[in-house]
């Protein structure tokens, strides 16, 4: 058992903290926001993440996980201090390290002489070294190690991803620090999970290179989807056919509305900005960012085309199914809906929307949307339905009932949630991303 202080009670800090406690450690989560701490203490989790609420409740009861705003005492008692605070984008795409630096300076005076500080936040190469220098400047003459340990958790499956990692990446120069972090993760070592032990700069770059590569796969399949639409192909068949080649792999080949979320858009922008700054521009990534942004605008162009055929834009209604950037989360950061809805409204179109989990978060960022409790309500009097999130519950929608509620017939399915022949049989003008128009069944 080791004592861990987790600085930052946001998405990464909270899930990592809870999972480390589940591995057997004693974890104190520290956050500046006293209301968040009070909520967590009462068992209220600020994010929707499957399995997190019961996990936190169980570990809190076992006294292996606790929450505090008292950073000095949590730091003093810890064998390992994690920094898991935010790294927002600046206007030029580069990341703002102010919160990481502030957290490092805040913990510094309370660290033990041989403390281990782990940078969990996603940071550009060179940050670990900078943080080590900052700490050494603030409290000179100690043997404190600063180690990079990027996270690879997906929202919506963060707990499973933590408990079944593909690899643990540790970037450090100090043998004692590396070995303490290895010990923290020893249950994974026993299961033969690969440990990638390298320099801090390599570890920091692994995180960006991994996310950017996955985003490239999505950008690539989205362009292939455009081609399929032109030639009457089906991108799912193409993705299946290429994905069976193990050099390509079948994951992250689902065409859609473009990638969103708190990571891919921000991390690709940060990598591009860092490449420019470091004298090694990343033109593939620069193009990917532009293509992805244009793809989201392309959804609006397609909706307007459909509306043009049916109604004057000023009198038109669009139903948006799905605000979350993907299923199983209430996170709407950089989700397609957040680009698409304001553009539709600017064109004078009325928007009705439904999402099973993300309406509260979305309503904080979008105005004048009619929020509907169910998809049928959202479809009422709609000229066009556009599906932007692949919620499993959307697959159970009764397309006949949907068709009956609509004013128009157009359905633009960016996530392949509907069965094409059922949709066509119900009288819908059904279009799915990367697919030829569905044939009317005989």
Known catalytic residues are 263
Contacts (CB under 6 A) with ligand UGA, residues 83-142: 122
321 scored as a contact of ligand UGA (CB under 6 A): no
Instruction: Please tell me whether residue 325 binds ligand UGA under the rule CB under 6 A.
Output: yes
Contact characters 295-314, ligand UGA, x per CB under 6 A: --------------------
Figure out which of the listed residues 9, 13, 256, 375 binds ligand UGA, where binding follows CB under 6 A. Answer: 256
Answer for the pair 341, 351: CB distance below 8 angstroms, yes or no: yes
CB of 397 to ligand UGA, least distance (A): 19
Eight-class DSSP state of 435 = B
Q: Which stretch binds ligand UGA (CB under 6 A): 55-63, 65-73, 246-254, 350-358?
A: 246-254
Alpha carbon distance 274, 417 (integer Å): 38
CB of 309 to ligand UGA, least distance (A): 27
Instruction: Please identify, among the stretches 133-141, 257-265, 356-364, 365-373, the one whose residues bind ligand UGA according to the rule CB under 6 A.
Output: 257-265
Secondary element (H or E) of residue 354 = strand 350-354
Q: Which of 401, 423, 421 minimizes the C-alpha distance to 410? A: 423
How many Å apart are CA 210 and CA 161, to the nearest integer? 15
| Residue for token pair 């050494």 | 136
Q: How far apart are CA 380 and CA 416, in angstroms?
A: 21
Provide the Cα torsion 152, 182, 189, 11; round to 10°.
-30
Residue 394 binding ligand UGA, by CB under 6 A: no
User: Looking at beta carbons only, is 122 or 145 nearer to ligand UGA?
Assistant: 122
The stretches of 317-374 forming alpha helices (DSSP H) are: 336-346, 359-363
Assess 264 for contact with ligand UGA (CB under 6 A).
yes
Residue 259 is encoded by which pair of tokens? 């990638």
Kindly state the smallest distance separating residue 110's Cβ from ligand UGA, in Å.
28
Contact between 51 and ligand UGA by CB under 6 A: the answer reads no
Which structure tokens are listed for 318? 């669009």
* Closest to ligand UGA by CB, 173 or 333: 333
Q: Tell me if residue 430 falls in helix, strand or coil.
A: strand
Selected from 152, 185, 195, 371, the binder of ligand UGA by CB under 6 A is: 152
Per-residue interface string for the shown chain with ligand UGA, residues 356-375, x marking contact by CB under 6 A: --------------------
Integer angstrom CA distances of residue 180 from 204, 258, 279, 378 = 19, 40, 35, 53
Nearest CB to ligand UGA, comparing residues 22 and 331: 331
208 contributes a contact to ligand UGA by CB under 6 A: no
CA gyration radius, the chain = 24
The answer to whether 254 contacts ligand UGA (rule: CB under 6 A) is: yes
* Residue tagged 């473009």 (tokens): 258
Among 114, 134, 226, 252, binds ligand UGA (CB under 6 A): 252
Question: Total residues at the site for ligand UGA (CB under 6 A)?
Answer: 20
Of the ranges 153-161, 285-293, 338-346, 361-369, which one interacts with ligand UGA (CB under 6 A)? 153-161
* Spatial CA neighbour of 384 closest among 414, 355, 421: 414
End-to-end CA distance of the chain: 66
- Between CA 73 and CA 328 the distance in angstroms is 36
Binding site for ligand UGA (CB under 6 A): 122, 151-155, 211, 214, 218, 252-254, 256, 259-261, 263-264, 325-326
């Amino acid at each position: 058992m080791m004592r861990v202080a987790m600085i930052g009670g946001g998405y990464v800090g909270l899930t990592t903290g809870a999972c480390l406690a589940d591995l057997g450690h004693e974890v104190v989560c520290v956050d500046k926001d006293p209301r968040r701490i009070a909520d967590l203490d009462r068992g209220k989790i600020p994010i929707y993440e499957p399995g997190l609420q019961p996990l936190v409740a169980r570990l809190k009861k076992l006294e292996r996980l606790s929450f505090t705003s008292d950073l000095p005492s949590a730091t003093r008692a810890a064998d390992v201090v994690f920094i898991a605070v935010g790294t927002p984008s600046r206007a030029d795409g580069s990341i703002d390290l102010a919160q990481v630096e502030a957290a490092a300076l805040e913990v510094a005076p309370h660290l033990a002489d041989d403390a281990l500080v782990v940078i969990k936040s996603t940071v550009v190469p060179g940050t670990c070294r900078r943080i080590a220098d900052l700490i050494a400047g603030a409290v000179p003459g100690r043997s404190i190690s600063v180690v990079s340990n990027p996270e690879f958790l997906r929202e919506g499956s963060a707990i499973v991803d933590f408990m079944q990692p593909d690899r643990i990446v540790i970037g450090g120069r100090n043998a004692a620090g590396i070995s303490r972090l290895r010990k923290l993760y020893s249950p994974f070592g026993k299961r033969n999970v690969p440990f990638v032990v390298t320099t801090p700069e390599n570890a920091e770059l692994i995180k960006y290179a991994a996310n950017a590569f996955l985003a490239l796969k999505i950008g690539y399949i989205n362009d292939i989807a455009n081609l399929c639409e032109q030639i009457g192909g089906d991108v799912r068949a193409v993705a299946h056919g290429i994905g069976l080649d193990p050099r390509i792999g079948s994951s992250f080949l689902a065409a859609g509305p473009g990638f969103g979320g708190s990571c891919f858009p921000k991390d690709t922008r940060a990598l591009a900005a860092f490449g420019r700054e470091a004298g090694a521009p990343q033109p593939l990534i620069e193009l990917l960012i532009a293509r992805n942004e244009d793809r989201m605008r392309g959804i609006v162009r397609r909706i307007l085309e459909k509306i043009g055929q049916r109604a004057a834009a000023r009198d038109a209604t669009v139903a948006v199914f799905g605000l979350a950037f993907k299923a199983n989360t209430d996170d709407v950061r950089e989700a397609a809906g957040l680009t698409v809805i304001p553009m539709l409204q600017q064109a004078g179109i009325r928007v009705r929307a439904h999402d099973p989990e993300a309406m509260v978060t979305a309503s904080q960022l979008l105005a004048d949307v009619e929020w509907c409790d169910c998809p049928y309500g959202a479809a009422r009097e709609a000229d066009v339905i556009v599906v932007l999130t692949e919620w499993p519950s959307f697959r159970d929608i009764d397309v006949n009932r949907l068709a009956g509620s609509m004013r128009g017939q157009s359905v633009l399915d960016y996530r392949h949630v509907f069965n094409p022949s059922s949709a066509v049989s119900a009288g819908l003008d059904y279009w799915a991303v990367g697919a030829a128009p569905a044939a009317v069944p005989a």
